Chains A and B, each alone.
Chain A
Amino acid sequence: MERASAAYENDLNLKATELRLGLPGTDESSEKQSSRNYKRSSPEMDNSCQKDEQKCVPASKAQVVGWPPVRSYLKNVLHQKNDSDLSGMFVKVSMDGAPYLRKIDIKVYKNYPDLLKALENMFKCSIGVYSEREGCNGSDFSPTYEDKDGDWMLVGDVPWDMFITSCKRLRIMKGSEAKGLGCL
């Protein structure tokens, strides 16, 4: 469990996006963190920074979960505004076991293999090979999506164009749960 989460953290490169008061390049690997949330290091911990505390600004303006504190309702409303046929369609993507969700613009992709490759890159998992006949198989993860009717479907069954208009959100299911969806 510990190992998987550490690998996960490294892959997402949380360190690069972590807010901290240290100068870019200072290392905090000695600090024991059980939480995967974005934490800024307290100046007490990072002695090298204490003098320069006031001059230290985060290396990058990272996206922090829940900051700025905009009501998710408002975010969705404004986002929907910008979503027109021209400007893309963002859907949430969750992966079983991941602490937070991502969002992708599915209009950016032209077909299923493109989408699956992007998901694989985002979550560092292997989702398997898509084929017209069999859909996705060949791994422990199965991509599923929630359609307009609220049902959870396996990605790959319907034509791509139909998929992008009916997909409301994506979920990458793990293990045996997923196998149930894909049985022939």
Chain B
Amino acid sequence: MVNYFPEEVLEHVFSFLTSHRDRNAVSLVCKSWYNVERFSRGKVFIGNCYAISPERLISRFPRVRSLTLKGKPHFADFNLVLHDWGGYVYPWIEAMAKGCTNLEELRLKRMLVSDASLELIAKSFPNFKSLVLVSCEGFTTDGLAAIASNCRFLRELDLQENEVEDPRGQWLSCFPDSCTSLASLNFACLKGEVNLAALERLVARCRNLKSLRLNHAVPPDVLQKILARAPQLVDLGAGSFVHDPESETYNKLKNVMQKCTSIRSLSGFLDVNARCLPAIYPICINLSSLNLSYAPGIYSKELVKLIRKCKKLQCLWILDTIGDKGLSVVASACKELQELRVFKSDPNDVGNAAVTEEGLVAISAGCPNLNSLLYFCRQMTNTALITVAKNCPNFIRFRLCTLDPITPDAVTMQPLDNGFGAIVQSCKGLKRLSVSGLLTDQVFLYIGMYAEQLEMLSIAFAGNSDKGMVYVLNGCKKLKKLEIRDSPFGNMALLADTGKYETMRSLWMSSCKVTFGACKSLAEKMPRLNVEIINEGDEMEGGSDDRQNVEKMYLYRTLVGPRKDAPDSVWTL
């Protein structure tokens, strides 16, 4: 076949393709397109850092400027995965430092990041602009100091929910006076003190700063000074918001807030006194995103007073202290709401949940554009879910968590199969689903039948038999990630369609009925899967009984065989 276009033209055409999937598709057309594409690909997304090696990445995409890597499986968020399971970023940095020094952007999720990695980044990539770390651990503020000191063109340092040790706390002062390029700085997750004077000076000289999220150590008077210097902020994460509403500081803060007319996104309030919230009222009307999920201790009444002013709100993250009544107010005020997350306010106190199916139904009735939901609730009913499905057919993400994982329909005491069935049937674009409550194999029959676009499914304490899992594997053609815990799925389901797993990113099964023997035979049959068994107990001495149930199994497709960095407690079969 003759290539009608010179490569430059192809490259130019491809430059309009921003999605990874489009670029992946394009690279499969023919050898010439593959080559043009690979030399022009700037952004690479690797959903599982063990699916490929850094060397192969660099040899295929030598000009990569932006790399996204994900490490631990999702259930690591809930303490189901060992801290040292893996996901080390160092080998990637090392390889890039040798072969690809034009790296500009690194986005990591659930990876182990050492100070040495951060120091290597700081030293090796002269054009480094953007570091985003989400749910990572293993580093300290010393590593951040290295980034601050050495990355001369740093535009973005975004730390989201990382576990960071803070031995010294002077990292912020390491930004040199010549650093004026910062556009986004998020250190809300840091537990230690920061040099407040250095922070003020940094904000003053970075005229392009658009996004700033502070940690709890930044008091209101400093916040006020910062806002006075940076009225151009679009995204603000307040640190501490506790002060006397009668004070001079509070007045100054109120006045300066009124001038911050560019703020569209508000979060933080890591320490907050509800009586100080009125300071924010002037900017509520401009907000498209509000995250109060880190701010406990605000009563529903106060939350509602605030939220009802946010008429343009599209994204709301809140604690369940808002209650069903509060959610009704949200439903009547925030007509443009697209994403809602209602978090459990006190995870250790199981008896105190404050939202039920009523709140959810109210939201669905008032907010027809709702497409993304995470909802922790005390109870749910099929009727409610069916109503929600009718009101909001546009769900892309639907994640429900009942406090008691096997609670039935609160009214009929039936399983919640029909409710979730209605969701998958109505929401034809559903990509992510988490189910909970009392569920039988029937719900999986529905999921397999209707959830044609489903990419990620999370199952806990659900189903009766292998059939449930088989319905899902057979039906959901676009399934990428399946994670299952405490459900009675066993060997028959695991081995029913082994080829399916090569079309998926990963499968997690813990506390199910899958045996060692079955895992071994799966691993033998499918060399391009890594089948890992995680054993935290002392059960590992000698050979294990093939008939023994496996505690935790994590399998994923890979092009590079078993990894060499697994700890002793993880076996790759």
Residues of chain A touching chain B, judged by Cβ–Cβ distance below 8 Å, are 1, 5, 19, 21, 33-40, 42-44, 54-55, 57-58, 61, 63-75, 77-79, 81-82, 97, 99, 149-150
> What is the chain B residue whose CB lies nearest that of A72?
B79
Beta-carbon contact of A39 and B486 below 8 Å: yes
Give, as a whole number of angstroms, the nearest-CB distance from A165 to chain B.
16
Beta-carbon contact of B538 and A1 below 8 Å: yes
A70 to B403, CA, bound (A): 11
Beta-carbon contact of B135 and A73 below 8 Å: yes
Beta-carbon contact of A37 and B511 below 8 Å: yes
A72 to B407, CA, bound (A): 23
Pull 11 A–B residue pairs with CB atoms less than 8 Å apart, ordered by A: A1-B541, A19-B405, A19-B406, A40-B461, A61-B404, A66-B485, A68-B344, A73-B162, A74-B293, A75-B347, A149-B167
Cβ–Cβ < 8 Å partners of A21 in chain B:
406
Beta-carbon contact of B78 and A44 below 8 Å: no
> What is the chain A residue whose CB lies nearest that of B548?
A34
Cβ–Cβ < 8 Å partners of A68 in chain B:
344, 347, 376, 401-403, 405
B150 CB-CB contact with A under 8 Å: no
Beta-carbon contact of B413 and A66 below 8 Å: no
Beta-carbon contact of A67 and B405 below 8 Å: yes
Give, as a whole number of angstroms, the nearest-CB distance from A182 to chain B.
24
Beta-carbon contact of A78 and B347 below 8 Å: yes
Q: Which of B404-437 touch A at CB < 8 Å?
A: 404-408, 413-415
Q: Which of B59-115 touch A at CB < 8 Å?
A: 75, 77-80
B543 CB-CB contact with A under 8 Å: no
A55 to B404, CA, bound (A): 15
A35 to B488, CA, bound (A): 13
Give, as a whole number of angstroms, the nearest-CB distance from A10 to chain B.
16
B246 CB-CB contact with A under 8 Å: no
CB within 8 Å for A71 and B161 given contacts A37-B486, A44-B464: yes
Cβ–Cβ < 8 Å partners of A79 in chain B:
348
Give, as a whole number of angstroms, the nearest-CB distance from A48 to chain B.
16
A74 to B350, CA, bound (A): 16
CB within 8 Å for A44 and B77 given contacts A61-B350, A63-B350, A69-B401: no
Q: Which of B343-382 touch A at CB < 8 Å?
A: 343-348, 350-351, 376
Interface centre among B344, B347, B551 (most CB of A within 10 A): B347
Give, as a whole number of angstroms, the nearest-CB distance from A50 to chain B.
10
Q: Which of B441-477 touch A at CB < 8 Å?
A: 460-461, 464-465
B6 CB-CB contact with A under 8 Å: no
CB 8 Å contact bits of B275-299 with A (1 = contact, 0 = none)? 0000000000000000001101100
Beta-carbon contact of B549 and A35 below 8 Å: yes
A74 to B413, CA, bound (A): 32
> What is the chain B residue whose CB lies nearest that of A63?
B350
Cβ–Cβ < 8 Å partners of B347 in chain A:
68, 70, 74-75, 78
B536 CB-CB contact with A under 8 Å: yes
Q: Which of B158-191 touch A at CB < 8 Å?
A: 161-163, 165, 167, 189
A-B residue pairs, 4 tightest by C-beta:
A66-B78, A42-B488, A73-B161, A37-B511
Cβ–Cβ < 8 Å partners of A78 in chain B:
294, 296, 345-347
Give, as a whole number of angstroms, the nearest-CB distance from B418 to chain A.
13
Cβ–Cβ < 8 Å partners of A58 in chain B:
404, 406
Give, as a whole number of angstroms, the nearest-CB distance from B321 to chain A.
11
A144 to B79, CA, bound (A): 22
A33 to B513, CA, bound (A): 10
Kindly state the interface size class of chain B when it binds its partner: 35 or more
Give, as a whole number of angstroms, the nearest-CB distance from B137 to chain A.
9
A77 to B406, CA, bound (A): 27
A42 to B162, CA, bound (A): 37
Beta-carbon contact of A54 and B405 below 8 Å: no
A37 to B376, CA, bound (A): 23
Q: Which of B261-314 touch A at CB < 8 Å?
A: 270-271, 293-294, 296-297
B539 CB-CB contact with A under 8 Å: yes
Beta-carbon contact of A67 and B541 below 8 Å: no
B510 CB-CB contact with A under 8 Å: yes
Beta-carbon contact of B163 and A73 below 8 Å: yes
Give, as a whole number of angstroms, the nearest-CB distance from A40 to chain B.
6
CB within 8 Å for A69 and B345 given contacts A34-B548, A99-B537, A150-B165: no
Cβ–Cβ < 8 Å partners of B297 in chain A:
81
Cβ–Cβ < 8 Å partners of B270 in chain A:
77, 81
Which of B78, B406, B464, B551 has a CB less than 8 Å from the CB of A71? B78
Give, as a whole number of angstroms, the nearest-CB distance from A94 to chain B.
11
A110 to B407, CA, bound (A): 40
Q: A39-B511, A58-B406, A72-B77 are in contact. List 6 more A-B contacts (CB 8 A).
A: A1-B538, A1-B541, A34-B549, A44-B465, A81-B270, A150-B167
Beta-carbon contact of A77 and B294 below 8 Å: yes
Give, as a whole number of angstroms, the nearest-CB distance from A105 to chain B.
11
Give, as a whole number of angstroms, the nearest-CB distance from B372 to chain A.
17
Which of B161, B271, B351, B538 has a CB less than 8 Å from the CB of A61? B351
A68 to B402, CA, bound (A): 8
A74 to B292, CA, bound (A): 12
Beta-carbon contact of A69 and B486 below 8 Å: no
Give, as a whole number of angstroms, the nearest-CB distance from A1 to chain B.
6
A57 to B438, CA, bound (A): 10
CB 8 Å contact bits of B502-522 with A (1 = contact, 0 = none)? 000000001100000000000
Beta-carbon contact of B343 and A70 below 8 Å: yes
Which of A19, A37, A82 has a CB less than 8 Å from the CB of B510? A37
Cβ–Cβ < 8 Å partners of A99 in chain B:
536-537
> What is the chain A residue whose CB lies nearest that of B461?
A40
A35 to B293, CA, bound (A): 35
> What is the chain A residue whose CB lies nearest that of B350?
A61
Beta-carbon contact of A34 and B75 below 8 Å: no
CB within 8 Å for A54 and B413 given contacts A61-B404, A66-B80, A67-B460: yes
CB 8 Å contact bits of B323-357 with A (1 = contact, 0 = none)? 00000000000000000000111111011000000
Which of B293, B406, B413, B511 has a CB less than 8 Å from the CB of A55? B413
CB within 8 Å for A57 and B408 given contacts A37-B510, A39-B486, A73-B189: yes
> What is the chain B residue whose CB lies nearest that of A77?
B294
Cβ–Cβ < 8 Å partners of B536 in chain A:
99
Interface centre among A35, A39, A61, A75 (most CB of B within 10 A): A35
A82 to B297, CA, bound (A): 9
Q: Which of B191-208 touch A at CB < 8 Å?
A: none
Give, as a whole number of angstroms, the nearest-CB distance from B187 to chain A.
14
A38 to B541, CA, bound (A): 23
Cβ–Cβ < 8 Å partners of B79 in chain A:
65-66, 72
